[in-house]
Amino acid sequence: MAMMWRRRRLGLILWFLIQLLPRAISETKLLSGQLICAGGESGACYKFAFFQEASRRVGHEEAAAACSLQGAALLSVESPSEQRLVESLLGSLAASSGLADGDFWLGLRRDPSGGGGPAACAELYAWSDGSGSTFRNWYPDEPSCGGEACVVMYFQPSAPAGYGGPYMHRWNDDSCTMKNNFICKFPPLVGVGEEEAPGSRRNASDGAEHVLLTETSGESLHAVYVAIPAIPLLLLLVVALGLLCSRSCGSPPAHDGNQNQVKAQDLWIPAARFRTQEV
């Protein structure tokens, strides 16, 4: 009778763990500071650094230095498809973390010593990671040049549309000392895009939690979470299965007083905790 009761309680634990597993997977979110790798042609990886507190945002040089320390560079957007990908990721980040208004630094910068008038100004911008891409997504009448040599991607959901249409995700030249969020772009991870070149930097993936994105037909994206908070639940599930098997398949233990009684306070499951990571 006691053996049957123990088996029933182990069965209840297994049922409870199985019920928690889909919930843990669904609650995994795209977070600020999380490494995200894209499939397709480039296989590049990205990390979005968003700060809810405006006082924690940084200037262009500080943002570039933060990316460099991780083996990356400020984001270069090299094609319309990459622009759409970044917009999609920002939308996912906003849905998960509740982003407020706050523009993002790009790796596009103008050489102030280049000279020339406004007509030649746009030709003086270059990507800091050495990309030769000429793709641009300026807001109408931008860049305005003058003392604004660095570039941001607008992210202001609450801002009304201007004379040139919505500001969201369009580019604007800004003073390099302004404080903004930023986006780092990393080389492809091995097995995600092209094979890694000898000597290339892979600091970003060392122990990092990341998300792999693969493109399907059209513009839809599917996220495959490589490191998910459900792992502890899976381990508990394996342990519980082992206990159930040992109880069912092993020889019945000797009944010695209360030695084999399962205490109610021992039947606990640690609460899953999800914390937003910031760079």
Residue 278 pLDDT grade (very low, low, confident, very high; cuts 50, 70, 90):
very low
Distance between CA atoms of residues 152 and 63, nearest Å? 12
At residue 31, the pLDDT reads: 57
Domain ranges of the chain: 35-190+202-225
Task: Express as a percent the part of the chain with pLDDT over 70.
Answer: 55
Summarised one tens digit per residue, pLDDT across range 123-142 is 899 999 999 999 999 999 89
Average pLDDT over residues 35-54: 82
Q: Which residues are bridge partners to 182 per DSSP?
A: 49, 105
Give the pLDDT confidence of 83-119 residue by residue, as tens digits. 999 999 998 888 877 777 899 999 999 986 666 566 6
Give 124 or 259, the one with higher predicted confidence: 124
Helix/strand/coil for 5? helix
- Element containing residue 248 per DSSP (H, E): helix 231-249
- In the CATH hierarchy, which fold is given to the domain comprising 35-190+202-225? Mannose-Binding Protein A; Chain A (3.10.100)
- Collapsed DSSP state (helix, strand, coil) of residue 72: coil
Two tokens, residue 30: 């795209």
48 DSSP β-pair partners: 183
